Structure 1
């Protein structure tokens, strides 16, 4: 297994601190998608829950595999745009996407 393979399975908080990542996990749980342990670390289970939610909403996250790839990022961008963030849907977790994700998770648990 290469280093890249390992990083795919690692925690990917997309710029969130532990508190805001817990807020995202609580939001997933509270909307009916089990992210696993609410620990502030967005790992495979958290992202699988998000992918299931995005797919159920028709936001096309693609395969539910817990990998934060371009399809998952596009689905996240589409989701955040529902709330008026005005993000480019490009599948890149750039500065604006991370800032919107940070803002979206300002409250929770």
Structure 2
């Protein structure tokens, strides 16, 4: 339990430092000289980072979720414990049976979270609102489910 708290603290601190550094980097580019004539600027789409959202799951718990998705919901990505867009697309396919009506786009948005909350409320002890916010109650129930896989 103590190591989990330490890991979460380190991840939070790392995230905060990354956000601060990104803000500083953006401030620096705002005052940068324009690109020389004839040189194309780099598209932000070509350097966009892969979004990973484990909703509080450890790597081993996320791997269990990926194995479940691979077995039943056409997930064919790496079993790496990183719930990225391909993992979330498979989860959205699964959550269609829990009234997910949004696009299968791999984004763990409020519609995806609401469907997940409906599932967790019925079977895994989630007692909170179906509000699309992945708060502590949602994350705890999601962890309980992942541990049972």
TM-score normalised by L of structure 2: 0.62
Q: Any idea what the Cα deviations from partners look like across 1:41-100, whole Å, max 9, x if unmatched?
A: 000000000001111x14225111001110010011011122042332100000000000
Q: More deviation in 14-23 or 78-87?
A: 78-87
Bigger CA radius of gyration: 2
**Larger helix fraction of residues:** 2
Distance 1:90 1:18 in 2: 26
Gapped regions of structure 1 (runs ≥ 5): none
Query: How far does residue 24 in structure 1 lie from its aligned partner after superposition?
Result: 0.7
State the structure with bigger RCO (CA 8 A, min sep 6), 1 or 2.
1
Provide the secondary structure at the position in 1 that maps to 2:74. Answer: coil
Q: Any residues of structure 2 matched to 1:1-109 within 5 Å, and which?
A: 1=44, 6=48, 9-55=50-96, 57-85=97-125, 86-108=127-149
Does the 8 Å contact 1:59/1:79 carry over to 2?
A: no
Distance 2:110 2:83 in 1: 16
Does the 8 Å contact 1:33/1:53 carry over to 2?
A: no
4+ residue segments displaced more than 3 Å? none
Gapped regions of structure 2 (runs ≥ 5): 1-43
Distance 2:119 2:58 in 1: 20
Does the 8 Å contact 1:11/1:41 carry over to 2?
A: yes
TM-score normalised by L of structure 1: 0.83
Supply the RMSD in Å over aligned alpha carbons. Answer: 1.9
Seen in structure 2, the aligned counterparts of structure 1 residues 16 and 58 have a Cα distance that, compared at 3 Å, is: closer
